[in-house]
Amino acid sequence: MKKFDYEQDFKTIDFRKHPELYQVGRGEQGVLMVEPYKGEILPHWRFRTVPIAKASAAKIMEMFEAYRAQDDFVGMDMARKFIQMGYTRARRYSNHKGGRKYDADGNELPRGVDEEKAAAAAVFKAYWDRLREDEDYLARKQAHQKLYG
């Protein structure tokens, strides 16, 4: 896999118009940089409580399916990244009050368990698992990476 290029001018590139410039990257790389998708998806991304996480994940999944219907792989992948980030961030807040893993000196803060955030994470995890097994998504991802790296 080609190393993710953080040097691109993310402020000026419209990745809908230039999908060839989009890199899948690892995990959530670029999730808060790739426009116009960030602007479209971010307002719906929430995980504070289980009902909020359910509504958020369902809306982002609906957007994923709309991007699929438009044959927009970049949008699909960005929706997948937000779903994944819903899981990882909710888990972090479940394990660390306030979401901070380390103190100012770089020492790991004590872990706890916030059951509400853990349950919110599970909501996103169920959607993420579905996306990781979606054969159409995986084929589109492979095709994009083959064409553009």
- For the chain, 149 residues long, give each residue's pLDDT as a single digit of tens: 567 778 888 889 999 999 999 999 888 998 999 999 999 999 999 999 999 999 999 999 999 999 999 999 999 999 999 999 999 999 998 888 778 888 889 888 888 888 999 999 999 999 999 999 999 999 999 999 999 97
Domain boundaries, the chain: 49-99+113-149
Q: What are phi and psi of 52, to 5 degrees?
A: -65, -45
Instruction: For CA atoms 105, 110, 116, 118, give the dihedral sign.
Output: positive
- Residue 115 burial (CB count, 10 A): 9
Is residue 65 within 8 Å of 49, Cβ to Cβ? no
CA 9 – CA 106 distance, rounded (Å): 31
Bridge partner list, 108: 102
CA 80 – CA 124 distance, rounded (Å): 10
